[in-house]
A and B are shown apart, each in its own frame.
Chain A
Amino acid sequence: MTERELEIKSIQYRKTLLRCIKRANAGHTGGDLSCIDILNVLYNRVLNVSPGTFDDPGRDRYVQSKGHSVEALYVVLADRGFFPESDLRTLCCHRSHYVGHPTRKVRGIEQNTGALGHGLAFSVGAALAGKMDGAAYKVYTLLGDGELAEGSNWESMLTAAHYRLDNLVAIADRNTLQITGCTEDVCALEPLRQKFEAFGWAVREVDGHDVAALADTFLVAPFETGRPSMVIARTVKGKGISFMENEVKWHHHVPTDEQYERAQQELDHLLREVQA
């Protein structure tokens, strides 16, 4: 997929995402919009996984530790054919498998997440098994930045470095906002890069909305032989919708009818620009 095609996908994914959230009257809108370009690049450019190979032991794994941004993942998985897009109409409905956090009942999802600070340990285990078996697959995991206050992440970071898991790529969705406010006001994370480096990881920073830069970064991992890779993706919470960007309230706010129309218009406008 070309960069332009990826850019178009990113806009289309946002349109579908908002439609799902609006219909379900639920969703973590801001965080979905901050990570959807990352997911776009992973599933359309990087990951060696498809609906047909999802049960293959040699597949690449994607684990979404920031489980609350599941709507973004559902949208991308549907587009990649893991399940019919019509399934998304059941999001959060009674008896639906499309829960507000990832579960393995949905094809394409590797592990149930939602409680924060769980995805990295699981990913370390999957990557370690790959090393034991001499398998070529990689494990990618997406961490929220607010989530990094969970101590379990740092336990797993020690383990990943100890076992030299260079088949593991973690991505920190660094939008700097969490439900209460700015991460630096809630419980400061910076200097984050140095912290990851001190834990033995090879770190790169990238614009988390630049699909070309994301692809270039992911495709050269591992950044150092014998070290796990950490991508600090600088993102904007609510990215792509003018009135949602960098606004804390959009953490899990659902747009009103009027806001929804306005958001779709903005995205249509953007789509026309990119396609022109």
Chain B
Amino acid sequence: MSFTPGVEPGQPNLDVFCETLLTLARADRNVLAVTSDSRGSGKLAPFAAALPGQIVEVGIAEQNLVGVAAGLASAGKIVYAVSPASFLTARALEQIKNDLCYSDRPVKLVGISAGVSYGALGSTHHSTHDLAALRAIENITIIVPADNLETAEAIKAAAAMEHPVYLRFGKRPLPHLYPPQTQFTVGKGLTVCEGTDVAFIATGETVHPALMAARELRAQGVSARVISMHTVKPLDADALIRAAGECRAIVTVEEHSSFGGLGEACAAVLMQAGIHIPFRIVGFPDEYMVTGNQLEIWEHYGIGAKGLSRTAKTLLGMRGKGETP
């Protein structure tokens, strides 16, 4: 039976994270979850009930969360520090920079409810800066999984990583993008569908709307490739450069500011490789964020099947007269 990506419904990545972490922690008592009053939003209550000795609660204190996690890791613990991405990567940025990255403590930072997952709760709760902030810090891997398989594999891979890693995802149920045996490798983007006219280089939950845009374009005779660039740092430059060589345009998609995230990372790779190709970064602009739920915010800023296919056609020179932008 052939597999069609993006059709079969899956779980929220958050649920997959919790199940995977529980499995890891049952097998190794050194695996710990450290939370900042975030076991509810992190769905870690079952973990706490099953393994009460392997969850450390520090209260609403993200700086403390990261520092304590560093100390636990220094004594051989395999630490997943879990907190909403917005607070974890802003409030505790100095702890991430010094206590983890500079000190080389292999803590696994788990930024939950990332991007604009919190929707209408507003910008205090959005993390649209985290990829940019962490990309500029030496010695951290950044992974933004797009579906359940990527999430489970990333969580498992993180356990064995010897340096700090940041995992970032939301809480929306996501369809499966890959058949079950798909090989996931940190630092290697996964091709969700092949195409030769335009390539969508997307990350995290925005891979799905990119895939929907590719479907819409295909119906209009445009062949669109979709790559899930789950590892934002280090970036899979090979997959990117290959896509630029085999397609006529590139559209990057991320649930993040268009400044300093995946798009600019891709642009830097292409420019420095001497590759000049129609290119567009789709992310959030430098403006006061519109109110809405996650999908409404995405649509507002062109992160949807319609918006992304329109962007692709513009780049390909297919936008005719009379067409509304």
Report the separation of the CA atoms of residues A128 and B56 in the bound assembly, to the nearest whole angstrom.
9
User: Quick one: given A111-B103, A115-B98, A121-B99, are A156 and B64 in contact (CB under 8 Å)?
Assistant: yes
CB-based contact A126/B67 at 8 Å = no
B77 near A: Cβ within 8 Å?
Answer: yes
Residues of A within 8 A of B58 (CB): 155, 159
User: Quick one: given A104-B103, A124-B67, A128-B68, are A110 and B61 in contact (CB under 8 Å)?
Assistant: no
CB-based contact A118/B71 at 8 Å = no
- Most chain A CB inside 10 Å of its own CB: which residue of B53, B72, B104: B72
CB-based contact A124/B70 at 8 Å = no
CB-based contact B77/A111 at 8 Å = no
9 contacts between A and B (CB under 8 A): A118-B95, A122-B68, A122-B70, A122-B71, A124-B64, A125-B68, A125-B75, A129-B77, A158-B61
User: CB-CB contacts of B116-159 with A at 8 A, as 1s and 0s?
Assistant: 00000000000000000000000000000000000000000000
Residues of A within 8 A of B73 (CB): 125
B102 near A: Cβ within 8 Å?
Answer: yes
Distance of B37 from chain A, by nearest CB (Å): 12
Report the separation of the CA atoms of residues A104 and B73 in the bound assembly, to the nearest whole angstrom.
14
For chain A, the bracket of interface size reads 20 to 34
Chain A stretch 203-227: residues in CB contact (< 8 A) with chain B: none
- Most chain B CB inside 10 Å of its own CB: which residue of A103, A114, A115, A121: A121
User: Quick one: given A123-B71, A129-B76, A156-B68, are A118 and B99 in contact (CB under 8 Å)?
Assistant: yes
Residues of B near any A CB (own CB < 8 A): 53, 56, 58-59, 61, 63-64, 66-77, 94-95, 98-99, 102-104
Partner of B67, one of A103, A114, A151, A152: A152
Closest B residue by C-beta to A156 = B64
Chain A stretch 35-73: residues in CB contact (< 8 A) with chain B: 57
CB-based contact B74/A121 at 8 Å = no
Report the separation of the CA atoms of residues A28 and B216 in the bound assembly, to the nearest whole angstrom.
65
Contacts beyond the supplied A122-B74, A126-B75: 20 A-B pairs with Cβ under 8 Å: A57-B75, A111-B71, A111-B74, A117-B63, A118-B98, A118-B99, A121-B95, A122-B70, A125-B67, A125-B68, A125-B73, A125-B75, A129-B75, A152-B95, A155-B64, A156-B68, A158-B61, A158-B64, A159-B59, A162-B59
Residues of A within 8 A of B77 (CB): 129, 132
User: Quick one: given A114-B98, A118-B99, A121-B99, are A126 and B74 in contact (CB under 8 Å)?
Assistant: yes
- Most chain A CB inside 10 Å of its own CB: which residue of B56, B68, B102: B68
Residues of A within 8 A of B67 (CB): 118, 120-122, 124-125, 152, 156
Closest A residue by C-beta to B91 = A152
CB-based contact A159/B75 at 8 Å = no
CB-based contact A115/B75 at 8 Å = no
Residues of B within 8 A of A108 (CB): none
List of 7 A-B pairs having minimum Cβ-Cβ separation, nearest first: A125-B71, A121-B67, A129-B75, A155-B64, A155-B61, A125-B68, A126-B71
Partner of B99, one of A103, A111, A133, A159: A111
A264 near B: Cβ within 8 Å?
Answer: no
Closest A residue by C-beta to B58 = A159
A88 near B: Cβ within 8 Å?
Answer: no
CB-based contact A115/B59 at 8 Å = no
Report the separation of the CA atoms of residues A173 and B102 in the bound assembly, to the nearest whole angstrom.
25
Residues of A near any B CB (own CB < 8 A): 57, 103-104, 110-115, 117-118, 120-130, 132-133, 135, 151-152, 155-156, 158-159, 162
Report the separation of the CA atoms of residues A127 and B77 in the bound assembly, to the nearest whole angstrom.
12
Residues of B within 8 A of A129 (CB): 71-72, 74-77
Closest B residue by C-beta to A116 = B94
- Most chain A CB inside 10 Å of its own CB: which residue of B53, B56, B67, B102: B67
User: Quick one: given A114-B98, A126-B75, are A121 and B70 in contact (CB under 8 Å)?
Assistant: yes
CB-based contact B53/A132 at 8 Å = yes
CB-based contact A112/B102 at 8 Å = yes
CB-based contact B94/A115 at 8 Å = yes
Residues of A within 8 A of B103 (CB): 103-104, 111-112
Residues of B within 8 A of A113 (CB): 98
CB-based contact B99/A122 at 8 Å = yes
Residues of A within 8 A of B95 (CB): 118, 121, 152
Residues of B within 8 A of A127 (CB): 71
Closest B residue by C-beta to A159 = B58
Residues of B within 8 A of A118 (CB): 67, 94-95, 98-99
Report the separation of the CA atoms of residues A57 and B63 in the bound assembly, to the nearest whole angstrom.
25
Distance of A260 from chain B, by nearest CB (Å): 33
Distance of A265 from chain B, by nearest CB (Å): 40
CB-based contact A152/B64 at 8 Å = yes
CB-based contact A125/B74 at 8 Å = yes
Distance of B235 from chain A, by nearest CB (Å): 26
- Most chain B CB inside 10 Å of its own CB: which residue of A122, A123, A135: A122
CB-based contact A121/B102 at 8 Å = no
Distance of A127 from chain B, by nearest CB (Å): 7
CB-based contact B61/A125 at 8 Å = no
Distance of A119 from chain B, by nearest CB (Å): 8
